[in-house]
Amino acid sequence: MPPQMRLAFVASDAPIAQQAKATLHAQYNGVPLDEAEIIVALGGDGFMLETLHDTQELDVPVYGMNRGTVGFLMNNYSSQGLRDRLARAEEEVINPLRMTATSVDGTLHEALAINEVSMLRSGPQAAKLRIHVDGKLRMDELVCDGALLSTPAGSTAYNYSAHGPIVPIGSEVLALTAVAAFRPRRWRGALLPKAAQVTFEIVNAAKRPVHADADGVSFKNIARVDIRSAPEIEHRILFDPGHGLEERLIREQFA
């Protein structure tokens, strides 16, 4: 990487992240986002997802440094030697999921999810879901607190907490996982081809309300959710050598 590669710095609202942004912006002559060749995001995983969504039209790689809590998508923070680290960084390209959620009143909502799309009950009663894959009914009734469809990049997040599998980055599959399944009680979910189109119908949605969520963007009173991968959208993430997503996913399984 040329020594004068233009860097833009963005940070979460956390004081520690804002302080790091001010330090790095001055130290490395930070530029506005629309002039950047690399974006450096300072915060946690949630802020990294927010940055990837907000800058997807720029086609600029994002290098995260952890100033938050978890930091699975982030590199370790240091104010020293940043240009050298960026010159040696390895790039991962991930595709998001495209969600179309239909409300009970027929309103359509669209959102993208880098980690997962989830459906969760909004009231005291369990949700009842009907699942179609590529237009074919695969499960007539799943009674649960919810369900989610995860990308490989998001498989260590909510999906893993719900006892879903960790999916290797290069596997070209999506993880479909139930949240607190009641019936069928022992259903362990499914691994689906990345190109699959998945539809969730909410059975008796008025009585058993469900909300849909795509990376924190939520819509209430949903009757149907259609999800597919969006290979036309590419998010470019930079990691320090030997600490890319594939290594992190493997390491997480032996933690």
List residues with catalytic annotation.
Answer: 45
- Burial of residue 145, with CB atoms counted within 10 A of its CB: 0-12 exposed, 13-18 middle, 19 or more buried: middle
d(CA 238, CA 73) in angstroms, rounded, equals: 9
Among residues 246, 56, 114, which one has the least CA distance to residue 169? Answer: 246
DSSP string, 124-179: SSPEEEEEEETTEEEEEEEEESEEEEE-STTTTTHHHHTTPPP--GGG-EEEEEEE
For 57, list phi and psi in degrees, rounded to 5.
-80, -10
